């Protein structure tokens, strides 16, 4: 706890707030890209600490939230199969598809199980050779290696009844999509430290240089985020644009070489639909053909013409996409906290505790 207390220390936080106030002469809009950062910002009311010249916008950094309806519907179809034990982390259980969610399917009798690790799914595959074990692998670059370790363990143990349903996303293409908007309002970014701890900072250097925006890598405690905001504001006031690592205690410049090697071996870049935003080229990962035997989407192909496999209509009244692209704020949504809540989510940012709408609902 001492280590955490250092980054929640009131004196340190007040010092950082004063430093930001001294630096922020001009108005700036900074977007944090990660749901964990958004959660901390809402929980500790960081926006209220900042001077009026610094505004925060909240990006599409919650992989649970942006997993598209089509993949949820595919998961539901697979989970209904009598030979399948469908497994997932708990945060995917209430993400709505076009008609229902995994929790309701479980209540109806489907064998859907919440696990703490994909390696637990491997153990299930070993214990139940008569069943097909499918693990719902969702996340950004942070969690991809853990899912792939489970796949490699299943391969080592020659378990043919284990597979992954992948909904894996890459962060840099999402940042590029936001910056390429002609009406984008972002002056600088706070990049997610846990993603960069895996990938390193290379891709962000290119984005920062091409779009002339500072990108500061930060952690997730209040002092981490305020320090990142300070670094970003300082660059903006000095008319600088570069990648700056404000989370060096956890993020090496080159990331985790072993994890990157594993990802390059097993995964290939693909275009991916982001719930509430739309299709972004090369913004996701899929299993390479070499690992098709462990790919649940190929083992249990979905008929696109069948209702319940991605043909449900997104709620047209939801402005989630505009919120996650930085064009609108949560307060602009007339349905926030009324007909849209964590218990009945309409838009992508309300379906997980780390989504911006859910974070603001829970804490503010």
Domains of the chain, CATH where assigned: 2-55+171-245 (3.40.50.11750), 64-170+255-299 (3.40.50.11740)
The one-digit pLDDT tens for each residue of the chain (364 residues) are 556 677 888 899 999 999 999 999 999 999 999 999 999 999 999 999 999 999 999 999 889 889 998 999 999 999 999 999 999 998 898 888 888 899 999 999 999 999 999 999 999 999 999 999 999 999 999 999 999 999 999 999 999 999 999 999 999 999 999 999 888 889 999 999 999 999 999 999 999 999 999 999 999 999 999 999 999 999 999 999 999 999 999 999 999 999 999 999 999 999 999 988 899 999 999 999 999 999 999 999 876 544 444 434 445 577 888 888 888 889 899 889 888 888 888 877 887 878 899 999 999 7
Q: How far apart are CA 229 and CA 188, in angstroms?
A: 9
Q: Is 109 exposed, middle or buried (0-12, 13-18, 19+ CB in 10 A)?
A: exposed
Please give the Cα distance from 317 to 105 (Å, whole number).
26
Given this model, what pLDDT does residue 346 score? 81
Query: So what's the pLDDT on residue 206?
Result: 95
* Residue burial 189-228, b: 16+ Cβ < 10 Å; e: rest: bbbbbbbbbbbbbebbeebbeebebbbbbbbbbbbbbbbb
DSSP state of 34: -
- Write down the pLDDT at residue 304: 54
Predicted pLDDT of residue 2: 55
What's the pLDDT at 307?
45
3-state secondary structure of 328: coil
């Amino acid at each position: 706890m001492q280590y955490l207390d250092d980054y929640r220390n009131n004196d340190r936080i007040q010092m950082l707030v004063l430093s930001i106030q001294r630096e922020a002469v001009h108005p700036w809009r900074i977007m944090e890209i990660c749901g964990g950062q958004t959660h901390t910002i809402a929980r500790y009311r960081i926006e209220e600490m900042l001077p009026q010249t610094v505004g925060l916008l909240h990006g599409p950094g919650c992989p649970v939230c942006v997993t598209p309806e089509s993949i949820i519907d595919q998961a539901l179809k697979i989970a209904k199969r009598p030979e399948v034990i469908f497994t997932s982390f708990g945060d995917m259980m209430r993400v709505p598809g076009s008609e229902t969610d995994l929790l309701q399917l479980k209540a109806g009798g489907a064998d859907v199980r919440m696990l703490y690790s994909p390696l637990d799914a491997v153990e299930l595959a070993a214990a139940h050779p008569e069943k097909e074990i499918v693990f719902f692998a969702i996340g950004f670059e942070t969690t991809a290696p853990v899912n792939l370790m489970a796949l490699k363990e299943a391969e080592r143990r020659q378990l043919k009844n284990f597979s992954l349903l992948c909904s894996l996303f890459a962060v840099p293409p999402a940042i590029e999509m936001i910056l390429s908007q002609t009406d984008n309002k972002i002056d600088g970014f706070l990049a997610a430290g846990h993603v960069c701890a895996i990938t390193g900072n290379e891709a962000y250097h290119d984005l920062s240089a091409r779009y002339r925006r500072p990108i500061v890598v930060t952690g997730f405690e209040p002092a981490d985020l305020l320090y990142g905001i300070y670094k970003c504001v300082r660059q903006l006031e000095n008319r600088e644009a570069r990648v700056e690592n404000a989370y060096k205690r956890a993020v090496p410049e080159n990331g985790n070489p072993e994890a990157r090697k594993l990802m390059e071996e097993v995964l290939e870049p693909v275009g991916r639909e982001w719930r509430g935003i739309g299709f972004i080229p090369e913004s996701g990962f899929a299993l390479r053909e070499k690992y098709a035997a462990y790919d649940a989407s190929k083992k249990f192909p979905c008929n696109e013409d069948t209702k319940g496999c991605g043909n449900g209509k997104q709620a047209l009244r939801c402005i989630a996409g505009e919120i996650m692209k930085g064009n609108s704020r949560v307060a602009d949504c007339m349905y926030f906290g009324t007909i849209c809540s964590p218990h009945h989510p309409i838009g992508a940012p309300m379906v997980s505790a780390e989504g911006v709408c859910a974070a603001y609902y829970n804490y503010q």
